[in-house]
Structure 1
Amino acid sequence: MLENLFIFLTVTSPKIKRKLWRLWYDFLAKSYQKKDWEFMNYGFADINNQLKPLNLSAEESQNKYFIQLYQKVSSITDLKNKKVLEIGSGRGGGSFFIAKYLSPQEIIGIDISQENIALSKQLYQLPNLSYQTGDSENLPFADNFFDIILNVESSHCYGSMDKFLAEVHRVLKPNGLFSWADLRPINDLKKLEASLSKSDLILLKKENITTNVIKALELIDELKRDKINKNVPTILRHTFSEFAGVKNSKIYNGFAEGNLVYLTAILQKKDS
């Protein structure tokens, strides 16, 4: 099956992994350019009422659970008047949400996929928002540049978590905060822990939000299936369903059976 080949190639080597993910996201951006697919995360259901209510429009409310994951990640501090970077901005919806609702001085969304960046620029325009092509392991910014860096469900695509964290540390201002969220196979947790512990960033908090993600996947399952059935050619529907994490997909079952976990972490750069 196509999705099995895709999964196999993503774990062969860092170079192949990076290239394949970039090609995959270029393909998705070229294939579907409508504004009704703004987010590429698995969502967060606010089971314990952790988040502040938002006055979303009817159109935005369809993306409630995807937005709530961004709320969760960005709730580490007040972003008002801060210089913010999102690494792995995808189709641009997350950076747009932050620019519109959280009032940063500036937010830049970067992504390795040129097609994603072109699509983001086409779909979203705000004075405090910009997008540019960028490599997570070689960030195109000066040292000590950002107050806040966000990374949502993207780092599993990278060739080296260690290089990524080193770059985050480099471009963060002293005392700057890095907020991260992503999924990992349970067998990769020791490797992740090692990367976090040996980086120059201070780990302030780590949280397992797998239960919230499973609930979000269940709540948005019907909407995802409907969009896939209406917009994706029959031959590709199974692959897209697997990628989207619909019920009984490998992703969904991985979370439900405990083979995959979804984590968030907050890290800080030491004051020099």
Structure 2
Amino acid sequence: MLAKLFISLVRVSPFFQKRVWKWWYQRLGKRAQDSGWTFMNYGYKNNRDKRIELDSKDEKDRMFIQLYNYVVSQISIESLKILEIGSGRGGGASFVAKYYKPLSIIGLDYSASAVALSNRLHKNVNNLSFIRGDAENLPFEDESFDVVINVESSHCYGNMQEFVSEVYRVISPGGYFSWADLRAKEMVLDTDKIFKNALFKCKSESDITSNVVSALDEIHEAKIQMIERHVPKTLRNAFMDFAGAKGSKIYNAFKKRDAVYLAKVFQK
């Protein structure tokens, strides 16, 4: 029952979808306090890309970091003000803060437990902070940020159009919005329409589904071990789908292209 829920959550009504995701992420933030688990994305692998030089302690998270690197490497962010919407356990924002040297980066998340955990895990990163907030009602003044990033999070939102409008509002003129996320195949056109109806200019767009599947293959064994350590037996099957483990419904949907993973960069 629960396993079927997670693959269907990218298709259900926005009202139900937002509340179920909030419950799930709050649960994860409270139950799994392990400082070694700071990423929640599916990862990215492309053997043709230049290999990122990582500190030894970050190597275990290479696949997850490579997704963030793909999202931010297409724009110059050094010494700029950055907002990540949907920052989860903070690993992505921490990577951007340490390796790309923005002036500041704020990670915003809907889950209070995830925000508290992120502030604890990444307290030694000087230009980084985390706050609780709603992606559809951002707690910032107009034109507050130079760049907004959003990685594998917007499928949880109740109103994608409100989210995109809020992103446009808080970005300074000439600033960038870099977005990456999964969508069920039948939802791609609706998502494209929302972006096209916004006032952003699309600078680049890519289908990176095959790269995400390659990363899921690469990290499968480590992911299974993580699930066995952190997730109660009663929830493990559901979490296999949530985590995109090999053979799961989400993994198979990517393989059959019933679901796709897209990346886009916009400029205001």
Asked if Structure 1 and Structure 2 have the same fold, meaning a TM-score greater than 0.5 normalized by the shorter chain, the answer is: yes
The share of aligned pairs that are identical, in percent, is 45
> Which residue identity lines up with residue 92 of structure 1 in the other structure?
G
SS at match of 1:247: coil
Task: Give CA deviations for 1:75-121 in whole Å, capped at 9, x if unaligned.
Answer: 12221100000000001111111111110000000001111101001
CA contact (8 A) 2:204 2:265 kept: yes
Alpha-carbon separation, structure 1, partners of 2:24 and 2:44: 24
Residue 231 of structure 1 and its aligned partner are, at CA, apart by: 3.0
Larger relative contact order, structure 1 or 2 (CA cutoff 8 Å, min sep 6):
2
CA contact (8 A) 2:42 2:212 kept: yes
Residue 4 of structure 1 and its aligned partner are, at CA, apart by: 2.0
Identify the residue that residue 193 of structure 2 maps to in structure 1: 194
Alpha-carbon separation, structure 1, partners of 2:65 and 2:204: 21
CA contact (8 A) 2:6 2:242 kept: no
Alpha-carbon separation, structure 2, partners of 1:115 and 1:230: 19
Matched, 1:31 2:35: no
SS at match of 1:62: helix
SS at match of 1:27: helix
SS at match of 1:54: coil
After superposing on structure 2, the runs of 4+ consecutive aligned residues of structure 1 that deviate more than 6 Å are none
Task: Give CA deviations for 1:25-75 in whole Å, capped at 9, x if unaligned.
Answer: 0001111000111101000002221x4522322x31110000000000011
SS at match of 2:242: helix
Identify the residue that residue 85 of structure 2 maps to in structure 1: 87
Task: Give CA deviations for 1:209-243 in whole Å, capped at 9, x if unaligned.
Answer: 01100000000000001121233222221111111
Residue 202 of structure 1 and its aligned partner are, at CA, apart by: 1.0
Identify the residue that residue 172 of structure 1 maps to in structure 2: 171
Long gaps (5+) in structure 1: none
Residue 140 of structure 1 and its aligned partner are, at CA, apart by: 0.6
Alpha-carbon separation, structure 1, partners of 2:188 and 2:47: 25
Identify the residue that residue 223 of structure 2 maps to in structure 1: 224
Matched, 1:141 2:140: yes
Alpha-carbon separation, structure 2, partners of 1:136 and 1:79: 21
Residue 128 of structure 1 and its aligned partner are, at CA, apart by: 0.5
> Which residue identity lines up with residue 183 of structure 1 in the other structure?
L
> Which residue identity lines up with residue 21 of structure 1 in the other structure?
W
> Which residue identity lines up with residue 154 of structure 1 in the other structure?
S
Q: TM-score, normalised by structure 2?
A: 0.96
CA contact (8 A) 2:42 2:64 kept: yes
Alpha-carbon separation, structure 1, partners of 2:70 and 2:163: 21
> Which residue identity lines up with residue 64 of structure 1 in the other structure?
R
User: Residue 199 and residue 230 in structure 1: after superposition, are their counterparts in 2 closer, same or farther (change >3 A)?
Assistant: same
Alpha-carbon separation, structure 1, partners of 2:6 and 2:247: 18
Q: Of the candidates 106, 124, 139, which is equivalent to residue 122 of structure 2? A: 124
User: Residue 259 and residue 103 in structure 1: after superposition, are their counterparts in 2 closer, same or farther (change >3 A)?
Assistant: same
Matched, 1:185 2:176: no
Matched, 1:206 2:205: yes
| Deviation larger for 119-128 or 168-177 | 119-128
SS at match of 1:200: coil
